[in-house]
Amino acid sequence: MTRKILVTGRLPGEVLSALAEQFDAASQHEDRPMERRRLLDAVGDKEGLLCMITDSIDEELLSHAPRLKMIANLGVGYNNIDVRAATARGIPVSNTPGVLTEATADLAFTLLLAIARRVVEGDRRVRAGEFRFWAPFLFLGREVSGKTLGIIGMGRIGKAVAQRARGFDMSVMYHNRSRIESSEEDRLGAGYESMEELLRKSDFVSLHVPLMAETRHLIGRREIGLMKPSAYLINTSRGPVVDEQALLAALQAGQIAGAALDVYEHEPALTPGLTLLDNVILLPHVGSATLETRTLMAAMAARNLIAGLSGQTPPNVINPEVFS
Ligand code: DGY
């Protein structure tokens, strides 16, 4: 009998076809998260699950899925999955690392440039008919070239952001759980700093940590208080890494110059007040959203699913201990 799988989001046609050749594949065809009740009902007889970062794969879901043998997440971040609960049931979980590094770093840098040069705000003003004349001190932003960039989280994406900063002659400092190899520091021109010093010295702080218990509210009132009044915060990692209420208060009080966010603490909801501020850019979680990258992510998630259901170790397994 053909094994059943569930795909909870829209995939490129060729990827879905490849899955349908091997499995009885039920899938969500629209570009929206699968409604929870539907997800719980659909997962009951499935052996494989290719899920989106918007699906909460928790105890409740796992208890509805007694036949589940593999979970492939379409995303590098997997805070949506209770990996411990999956591991306890012997279910491998995979993610999609690497393929989205450049796209996400591009977006972080886009936000950095856009917030410093007031790109989105300028566009809004022009559309509102407020571009009436040029004047030397109107609509000034801040210089990016030569400034100091502080990167918190020096994994693949953090490093790719550092690489981009070199092209802008920026000084790059980073903070990470552990220091990277000194040859890597030299290649990237990046120096290690304590979190406090990084926050004190940076003109731009860009976040690239995964969401886990230790990084929830990593940037709160105290940390924002250490930043320069002229500094900007950029977040393309996960929303709950920042205490959004504390950020809002700091922005309202002019305690920092601005923030550019792609992710939110209570995504997709926004902390009320954020949209009223001109010194904030708000994007709808599009860090990896290029056609090329999302296509690669979908293919990678499918490869992981196929491997896991064939009894092989999925190339991007997060909990390899289930095989030991
Ligand atoms: C990821 O892969 O974790 C991204 O946030 C999805 O864009």
Mutate which of 76, 215, 263, 267 for ligand 1 pocket (most atoms within 8 A of beta carbon): 76
Under a CB-based contact definition with an 8 Å cutoff, are residues 68 and 49 in contact? yes
At a CB cut-off of 8 Å and minimum separation 6, what does 217 contact?
Answer: 240, 241, 242, 243
Read off the DSSP letter of residue 33.
Answer: P
Closest C-alpha residue for ligand 1 atom 2 = 75
Q: In terms of DSSP bridges, do strands 70-74 and 232-235 run parallel, antiparallel, or are they unpaired? A: unpaired
Contact 170, 144 (CB under 8 A): yes
Nearest of 54, 21, 13 to residue 306 by alpha carbon? 21
Ligand 1 pocket by Cβ (under 6 Å): 53, 75-77, 100, 287-288
- In angstroms, what CA-CA distances link 185 with 102, 105, 165, 280, 296? 19, 18, 13, 31, 29
- HSE-CB at 156 with a 13 A cutoff on CA atoms is 12
Question: What residue's CA is closest to ligand 1, atom 6?
Answer: 75
Q: Does residue 309 contact residue 279 with C-beta atoms inside 8 Å?
A: no
Write down the CATH number for the domain with range 101-282. 3.40.50.720
| Alpha helices per DSSP H over the chain | 13-22, 36-42, 59-63, 83-88, 101-116, 119-127, 156-166, 182-188, 195-201, 221-226, 244-252, 291-309
Domain with CATH 3.40.50.720 in the chain: 4-99+291-323, 101-282
Rg of the Cα atoms in the chain: 21
- Ligand 1 atom closest to residue 287's alpha carbon, by position in its atom list: 7
pLDDT of residue 1: 76
Residue 235 DSSP SS3: strand
* Residue 19 to residue 10: CA distance in whole angstroms: 13
How many A from CA of 97 to the centre of ligand 1? 9
User: What are the distances in angstroms from CA 136 to CA 133, 139, 140, 179, 225?
Assistant: 10, 9, 9, 44, 32
Residue nearest to atom 4 of ligand 1 (CA): 75
Active site residues: 238, 267, 285
Looking at 2.40.110.20, 3.40.50.720, 3.40.50.300, 1.10.287.70, the CATH number of the domain 4-99+291-323 comes to 3.40.50.720
Q: 123 CA to middle of ligand 1, Å?
A: 27
d(CA 159, CA 132): 42
Beta bridge partners of 321: none
Angstrom distance (rounded) from CA 220 to CA 230: 18
pLDDT at 29: 87
In this structure, the residue with its CA closest to atom 1 of ligand 1 is: 75
Name the stretches of the chain with pLDDT < 50. none
